[in-house]
Chain A
């Protein structure tokens, strides 16, 4: 499963980081760093929370979950 970031929408709000810090981090200049694009099964729950929590709806998931 992959994370998609709509870079035009993301405003560096950081909700995603507070829920899934291994995957998302906001840099000092407010830009979002993705530590990984592929999501493993044990990360799925918190990444889904992060997707739902993004105030700009910049995040989405696609593809099947890898075993």
Chain B
């Protein structure tokens, strides 16, 4: 194994090249990226990057790090356009790059509303360039923000809009936002967070037409004929895996590049990050088939794994993980670990706080006799304790026991705090 090629220069791609170098791999390493930018962190782009007075620099590493410490050849600014798994080559512009091992980490592209791509005032949030444009739009005197899609990224942008003092409306096609990600009941609970902060959420509505004047968005017309005026329209309707360049490569493409349990998509070809679909053995008994995650943590993790497997296929091991994502809404944090089985709400138990008003609360998810998921709003101490149980395939009974312990611990802490406060008052008197 002498030449590792990594296509996609973002989180998964960066972690891929770093992992093999840390292990002492001394072959050639090439990192190919479609964007001009050095690898950068995406989660801030819908959060601090828009909200903060000063933009934090989202790049992970300096340019020198790649040439120096990592000894990685960077090919930025031109997408890979073809893969030949028989000849083991990747086409990048007019170059043909040979590989011995390949990592595909091309992530995903934001979905758009067809026909609106060139309208001024219409934005998606996936790339740094997107975020720069949206930041300017939100701060350029806009009064009304409309977000199509009540997913996590759309919700974060809505929260930033409120923070900046805009009137914000979210339009969601489903009756319950995020039902697929967290289940119906929890989707409703999260929607309360928006309403509590003055964001209007309209569910079960279809965007019929985007209205514009002089090349600039002015509003949207809904399925029932009503019109919503807006200055800025953010399209947050999800992402589609970046697999177009793999057409004709012979790889199996099905909403992502399909791989086996070791992340192998073909001989010497491994996948990582938002583009990767693989069978996560941890949940094979409760949720068969493959999964594709669009989460920071799994992209980072898979990047390292895929690259290690690519340089040493004989040592490849099944990759299993407890998915984790977070999302920052208003001043709070939503955290989810595991999977949300789609069997309905009787599978969910709120073990701390109250979901009726949108939190703080913690809820756990059951499938069969296992705990398979946990969701917390503004309870940062809780979900990671359940993540361990999920990873160790613990039972529902174990999870309820932990919930009981945590209740007792929180109660003891609260009592202690009350006592201390009482003593301080006593001293003060």
**Least Cβ distance of B54 to chain A in Å?**
14
CA distance A15 to B323 in the complex (A): 11
In the bound assembly, the distance between CA atoms of A3 and B4 in angstroms comes to: 31
A58 within 8 A of B: no
Q: Is residue B388 contacting chain A, with contact meaning CB distance below 8 A?
A: yes
CB <8 Å contact, A15 and B384: yes
B137 CB, nearest partner CB in chain A, Å = 26
Quick one: which of A6-31 are within 8 Å of B by CB? 12-15, 17-18, 21, 25-30
For residue B304, CB closer than 8 A to chain A, the reply is yes
Cβ of B410: which chain A residues have Cβ within 8 Å of it? Answer: 28
Query: Is the beta-carbon distance between A53 and B301 smaller than 8 angstroms?
Result: yes
Complex contact A12–B380 (CB within 8 A) = yes
Evaluate contact between A14 and B384: CB separation under 8 angstroms: yes
* Contact present for B304 and A52 (CB under 8 Å): yes
Q: How far apart are B99's CB and chain A's nearest CB, in angstroms?
A: 24
Partner of B381, one of A15, A26, A52, A53: A26
A17→B391 CA distance, assembly (Å):
13
Q: How far is the CA of A30 from the CA of B384 in the complex (A)?
A: 12
* Chain A proximity of B10: nearest CB distance (Å): 14
Tell whether, in the assembled complex, residue B381 and residue A13 are in contact, meaning their CB atoms are under 8 Å apart. no
Asked if B361 CB lies within 8 Å of chain A CBs, one says: no
B window 373-426: CB within 8 A of A: 379-381, 383-385, 387-388, 391, 410, 413
Q: Does B300 contact A (CB under 8 A)?
A: yes
Contact B43 A26 (CB under 8 A): no
Residue B296 is within 8 A (CB to CB) of chain A in the complex: yes
Contact (A14, B300) CB under 8 Å given A21-B388, A55-B43: no
Contact A26 B300, beta carbon cutoff 8 Å: no
A26-B297 in contact (CB<8A): no
Is B324 an interface residue when CB atoms closer than 8 A count as contact? yes
When the two chains form their complex, are residues B380 and A28 in contact, meaning their CB atoms are under 8 A apart?
Answer: yes
For A28, list chain B residues within 8 Å (CB).
Answer: 379-381, 410, 413
Band of interface residues on B: 20 to 34
B392 to chain A, nearest CB (A): 11
| B388 & A18 in contact (Cβ 8 Å cutoff) | yes
Q: In the complex, are the beta carbons of B381 and A27 less than 8 A apart? A: yes
Q: B391 to chain A: which residues have CB within 8 Å?
A: 18
Is there a chain A Cβ closer than 8 Å to B326's Cβ?
Answer: yes
B383 touches A14 (CB 8 A): yes
Q: Does the CB pair A26–B387 fall under 8 Å?
A: no
Cα A57 to Cα B337 with chains together (Å): 19
On chain A, the residues within 8 Å of B301 by CB distance are 52-53
Q: Given the complex, which residues of A lie within 8 Å of B43, measured CB to CB? A: 55
Interface residue from B300, B322, B380, B413 paired with A52 (Cβ < 8 Å): B300
Whether A18 lies near B296 (C-beta < 8 A) is no
Q: Are B297 and A55 in contact (CB under 8 A)?
A: yes
Which chain B residues border A26 with CB–CB below 8 Å?
A: 380-381, 384
Do A53 and B413 touch across chains, with their CB atoms under 8 A apart?
no
Q: With A and B bound together, what is the CA distance between A27 and B413 in angstroms?
A: 11
Q: Which of A27-67 contact B (CB under 8 A)?
A: 27-30, 52-53, 55, 57
Closest CB in chain B relative to A32 CB, distance in Å: 10
Measured in the bound complex, the distance between the Cα atoms of B335 and A15 in whole Å is: 11
| Whole-angstrom CA separation of A52 from B385 in the bound complex | 19
A residues within 8 A CB of B387? 18
Neighbouring A residues of B300 by C-beta, 8 Å: 52-53, 55
Q: Are A17 and B297 in contact (CB under 8 A)?
A: no
* Contact in complex: A15, B380 (CB < 8 Å): no
Residues in A with CB closer than 8 Å to B324 are 15, 18
Which one of A15, A21, A30, A57 has the greatest number of beta carbons of chain B within 10 Å? A15
**Which chain A residues border B297 with CB–CB below 8 Å?**
15, 53, 55
For A13, what are the chain B residues with a Cβ–Cβ distance below 8 Å? 326, 335, 380
Do A17 and B413 touch across chains, with their CB atoms under 8 A apart? no
| B60 cross-chain contacts in A, Cβ below 8 A | 57
Bound form: Cα–Cα A57–B380 in Å: 18
In the assembled complex, the Cα of A21 lies from the Cα of B388 at a distance in Å of: 9
* Pairs across A and B, CB under 8 Å, 27 listed: A13-B326, A14-B335, A14-B380, A14-B381, A15-B384, A17-B384, A18-B322, A18-B324, A18-B337, A18-B385, A18-B387, A21-B388, A25-B381, A26-B380, A28-B379, A28-B380, A28-B381, A28-B410, A28-B413, A29-B380, A30-B380, A52-B15, A52-B300, A52-B304, A53-B300, A55-B296, A55-B300
Closest 4 CB pairs of A and B: A14-B384, A30-B380, A18-B384, A18-B387
Beyond A18-B391, A28-B413, A52-B15, 5 extra complex contacts between A and B, CB < 8 Å: A14-B383, A14-B384, A21-B385, A26-B381, A53-B301
